[in-house]
Amino acid sequence: MRRPCSDVVVVAIEGEVDLANCPELDRVVMRVTAEPGIERVIIDLTGVGFLAACGVRCLARLQMRLAARRHRMQLVVSPDSGTVRRVLVLVNGFEIVDSLAETGATC
């Protein structure tokens, strides 16, 4: 996790997003967004090779919870990430960008 700007937090994930680590992802994101001044959460999935159905569900639930707190969530998923990107695009409703630079969070 890092904070490139005062109102943005970036959570980078590597490996797999599945039943084993979804609860931790949820805890980390909700903890860091509880800090004052956070308006946007960027979840960097460029290092993710496998996204289980429960991982998609976890991201959708996080998006709803963050929206209720008036936080914006962006997912960074490279265009060549294969099924990870295809699944997230099919779900619809996620704000997906190709790179961290595209988020503008490089303060």
Buried b (16+ CB within 10 A) or exposed e, 68-90: eeebebbbbbbeebeebbebbee
Proportion of the chain above pLDDT 90, given as a percent: 74
- Give the model's pLDDT for residue 70: 93
Task: Indicate the pTM of the whole model.
Answer: 0.90
- Give the model's pLDDT for residue 7: 87
- Give the model's pLDDT for residue 1: 54
What's the rounded mean pLDDT across residues 44-62? 95
